[in-house]
Structure 1
Amino acid sequence: MADQTYRPQRTAAERASRVRFRRAMALLLITLLLPGSAQLVAGNRRVGRIAIWTVIGLAVTGGLVFGISLLWHGLIFRLGTTPWLLGLFRIGLIAGAIAWAALFVDAWRLGRPLELELKQRRVVVAINGALAFSVAATLLFGAHLVGVHKGMVEAIFAGAEAAEAHNGRFNVLLAGADSDGGKTRWGLRPDSLTVASIDAVTGRTVLIGLPRNMQKFTFADGSPMDKKFPRGFDCDGCYLNGVSTWAEDHKELYKGEDHPGMAATVDAVEGITDLQISYYAIVDLNGFQEIVDAIGGVTLNVRQPIPVGLPSDKFYTHIQPGVKKLDGWETLWYARARHDSDDYSRMARQKCVLNAILQQTSPADVVRHYQDVAKATGSTITTTIPPGEIERFSALALKAKSQKISTLSLVPPLVDTADPNMSDIHAEVRKAVKKATPKKEEVFASPSTGDDGETKAPAAGNKPKASGDSDKSGPVTGGSLGSRNKGYQANATDDLASAC
């Protein structure tokens, strides 16, 4: 007779124990998959129904928002930039974390842990604790991210009212300023001033650079500074980057203004360009490197060594030539270095940095590093653009990525910065803006066609150039093509990418 392995029969008590264990585990599992279902089948059905209908309602709402956003892309921007909605969503996530964890605890109770064997009880307790902690921690972390985002929106977008497009364009003043050791949030002497003139339909953008050393310019007609300086800003040592300081020292001219320095600077820029400024945005240049680090750096074409610091600095070094991915510290010096260079080459490099950030930063990059991005931007950027306009400008930014960016810099030899001819400057600005404003029939043209309607190959400038292809007839920018003698192409071009 063949040997038969002896298998003892389980007693009724053991079978009952296994059933109770499987039941306890099932209650935990269905609570994970559908909160409230354990209560519906084995506990307080009223609680179960409330939980299930809440989950179903949230799922339906989320599905509707997703479906509508496929047709109306601005919905996500609208929902994501309304502070009170973000606050409500954050509270909802916190409440959801507490409620879901409580349902797990109740599901554990419904599993009658005291009737389980000691080993089974320990397993159920461990799994229940792990599941409750996991779902609660996930929702609480989501609430934290929403809180970070809400704080960023409130910190950056402080504008009260939306502005209308002027002659079909939004003109946004981008100001880079040094912080002053914490005495105020922003430095009082803007180190960089650029007007981004954006077509309100196509997003086609012109960057108009203003030199910080411009003198004797006039202000916007009728402005407080125009009444004070009717013949132009001609006081001793008065330059464009000193307007803010001057106005802060004479706040009586701008009664009721929270930031008289920026109000005066806007009046100056409007007087110089003859453009109506819709909004302004200020970037703390000392915190700019945090933003670049947060998005993972930017790739730039360094044509000649760029000094980092001054020879007297202990950290003095150079960014060597080549197509390189620079971190925040290097990018800041790439944009700001003036040693062995000049203000106008620096203006060209700054435009190359703006172009690189626009072209290389994708929504995926922002999402992947969101917490760092939000923290950096919330502490280094402020703007008068109201939250309700983020939807519009986000859509325009996406359109701008696929188009050429034009530039005009009001620098020599085009402009005598010591004694500028304002009529000539206004004419140059009008010409640059008009050139970048598409005709109605061109709005619907294929992106692959040029201004003349002919199909064109991608600009050669989109491909990295060798480090030795710079104009050698004078000191070079290290970034843009050109030289001090012949001018830097990034300062005046119909295609910024090709000049960088």
Structure 2
Amino acid sequence: MSGHPSGSRSGTGHPPTPPAGDAVFRRRAADERAARVRFRRAIALMVMTLLIPGSAQLVAGNRNVGRIAMRVWFAVLLGGALAFGIALVHHPFAFWLVSDTTALAVLRFGLIALALGWAFLIVDAWRIGQPLTLSHQHRRAVVGVNGVLCFAVAGALLFGAHLVNVQRDLLVTMFGDGAASDAAHGRYNVLLLGGDAGAGRWGLRPDSLTIASIDAETGRTVLISLPRNMSDFPFREGSVMDREFPDGFDCDDCYLNGVSTWAGDHTALFGKSDHPGIDATIMAVEGITGLEVSYWAMVNLQGFKDLVDAFGGVKLNVREPIPVGLPHESYFRYIEPGTHTLDGMETLWFARARYGSDDYSRMARQKCVMNAMLHQVTPQSAFRNFSKIARASSEMVSTSIPTSEVDRFLELGMKARSQPVSTVSLVPPQVNTADPDIDAVHEMVALAIDRAEGDAARAKSTRARKKQQSAGTTGGSVGSLAEGYAANQASDLGASC
């Protein structure tokens, strides 16, 4: 008989049977390792889709979907890189891309389609990861990661589509749809009209009138300002207003800023014109300056305040105390002399304040504001505050510039930023606003443009140039009615401000 207890397997060559608890522990450990592998696989599939859309489907799902998605993705990358490269070396392409309404519409729908397609692929990657095979804890984590990725990708692309749509709406709302005008003698002459506009008030009694004469090739700009109280002036020869006032606008209390009101009371003379007041004002401005106006832009000065705030303010050199408000108003105060970054309200009062000064001082300050905006506004600041700027701009400007010409003016604006701005103002002491010498005015305007274009020979050969240079070197509102304000007659407006 054997000396071992009955049922013992010792000495038979077989290992002892492990306790039942060890087998359960090992099986549980194997299951946990498998669960972690499945969890990591599910996360990896979603991350792959985030980095290269369609890669998860190509590896573990529907390969046809994966191939299509990856081809689309690489086509988008290639197209984006190509567009970026072209924009870097050929700026007009970039200006066209941000100003062409058809291109913007295509880009918007492309971004929306990309957002929806990418989100679908991320959700499909979650499905391929077999979430029902995961533990409860891992399942919740995968759902959370999937939600974050979908929200981040789709949200970013849909927000981009929103910005593109804002830009397109701005172009449609602000700019006209008429035919483009050719440059007159190599220059675009844009009439800028400023006033407190409201519903139904566009074009009524403009508060300020300035022609921005822009070289069609270089962007070199001359600002030609006309006083609102000018009277006894002619209209463009052969125009409707010239036939009505063949001897000039010499009626009682008839001033330049009242031309639009007169036209508004006699709209039948202007046929089917949508803007008879502006049309009549252009006839007056062309008669006074001898220039052919290419386009017009009406600026709502209250909307201008919002635009300045959207950019974060404008840095201006304040030459003397400028009142904000009127003495009877609760917020009345002064902007003290010095270099300050002014907010929208302060900038508006800097440009418009007449309390304690005169119209011609105000015209000088308005030019300094224009110059500051031109040179301080950068593409970077515009991009950072795009939505605010677009909203303010749509409420600020109405213009006849067609959308087809926006890219051209964007390009000219960028060129103008690197050059000095010249000014000529048809104000005392150079011009008697009550009885202007129109021939002398035409000569002043022509000389200012000649100087800007570098035609020094002609400019030096006339006395008019000497008169313009005698205005002094101080800028902004410094000066007097008798001696003139330097910012009103300057070859370099920035230096005079």
TM-score, length basis structure 1: 0.88
List, as ranges, runs of 4+ consecutive aligned residues in structure 1 with deviation greater than 6 Å.
Answer: none
1:470-489 to 2 correspondences below 5 Å: 479-489=476-486
The equivalent of 1:120 in structure 2 is 138
Alpha-carbon displacement from aligned partner over 1:368-394 (angstroms, at most 9, x marks no partner) = 111111111111112222222222222
The equivalent of 2:491 in structure 1 is 494
Residues in 2 aligned to 1:433 and 1:308: alpha-carbon distance in whole angstroms = 35
The equivalent of 2:262 in structure 1 is 246
Q: Does 1:256 align with 2:253?
A: no
The equivalent of 1:368 in structure 2 is 384
Residues in 1 aligned to 2:120 and 2:34: alpha-carbon distance in whole angstroms = 27
Residue 11 of structure 1 aligns to a residue in which SS? helix
Residue 207 of structure 2 aligns to a residue in which SS? strand
Which structure 1 residue ranges, 5 or more long, are not aligned? 1-5, 441-450, 452-468, 472-476
Which structure 2 residue ranges, 5 or more long, are not aligned? 1-21, 461-471
Alpha-carbon displacement from aligned partner over 1:72-102 (angstroms, at most 9, x marks no partner) = 1110111111112212211221222222111
Letter in 1 for 2:418: S
Shift of 1:247: 0.9
Letter in 1 for 2:309: D
Alpha-carbon displacement from aligned partner over 1:263-283 (angstroms, at most 9, x marks no partner) = 111111111100001111111
The equivalent of 2:311 in structure 1 is 295
The equivalent of 1:183 in structure 2 is 200
The equivalent of 2:181 in structure 1 is 163
Q: Does 1:25 align with 2:22?
A: no
1:57-456 to 2 correspondences below 5 Å: 57-180=75-198, 182-184=199-201, 186=202, 188-438=204-454
* Percent of aligned pairs sharing the same letter: 55
Alpha-carbon displacement from aligned partner over 1:197-251 (angstroms, at most 9, x marks no partner) = 1112222211111000001111111111111111111222111111111111111
| More displaced stretch, 10-19 vs 33-42 | 10-19
Letter in 2 for 1:50: I
8 Å CA contact retained: 2:189, 2:291? yes
Letter in 2 for 1:137: G
Shift of 1:402: 2.1
Letter in 1 for 2:355: H
Alpha-carbon displacement from aligned partner over 1:130-177 (angstroms, at most 9, x marks no partner) = 111111111111111111111111112214222111111111111112
8 Å CA contact retained: 1:481, 1:499? no
Residues in 2 aligned to 1:117 and 1:354: alpha-carbon distance in whole angstroms = 65
Q: Does 1:46 align with 2:64?
A: yes
The equivalent of 1:462 in structure 2 is none
Alpha-carbon displacement from aligned partner over 1:383-412 (angstroms, at most 9, x marks no partner) = 222222222222222222222211110011
| More displaced stretch, 208-217 vs 187-196 | 187-196
Residue 408 of structure 1 aligns to a residue in which SS? strand
Tell me the matched-pair count.
459
Alpha-carbon displacement from aligned partner over 1:14-50 (angstroms, at most 9, x marks no partner) = 2222221111111111010011111111112222122
Letter in 2 for 1:183: G
8 Å CA contact retained: 1:470, 1:481? no
Residues in 2 aligned to 1:270 and 1:499: alpha-carbon distance in whole angstroms = 27
The equivalent of 1:11 in structure 2 is 29
Residues in 1 aligned to 2:158 and 2:221: alpha-carbon distance in whole angstroms = 41
Shift of 1:482: 1.9
The equivalent of 2:5 in structure 1 is none
8 Å CA contact retained: 2:178, 2:402? yes
Structure of larger gyration radius: 2
8 Å CA contact retained: 1:352, 1:480? no
Residues in 1 aligned to 2:102 and 2:412: alpha-carbon distance in whole angstroms = 25
Residue 161 of structure 2 aligns to a residue in which SS? helix
Alpha-carbon displacement from aligned partner over 1:426-476 (angstroms, at most 9, x marks no partner) = 121112111211359xxxxxxxxxx9xxxxxxxxxxxxxxxxx997xxxxx
Residue 213 of structure 1 aligns to a residue in which SS? coil
Residues in 2 aligned to 1:116 and 1:266: alpha-carbon distance in whole angstroms = 75
8 Å CA contact retained: 1:215, 1:234? yes
Alpha-carbon displacement from aligned partner over 1:331-368 (angstroms, at most 9, x marks no partner) = 00000000111000000000010111111111111111
Residues in 2 aligned to 1:236 and 1:407: alpha-carbon distance in whole angstroms = 30
Letter in 2 for 1:249: D
Residues in 2 aligned to 1:403 and 1:277: alpha-carbon distance in whole angstroms = 23
Letter in 1 for 2:227: P
Pairwise CA RMSD: 1.9
8 Å CA contact retained: 2:428, 2:481? no
8 Å CA contact retained: 2:95, 2:411? no
The equivalent of 1:455 in structure 2 is none
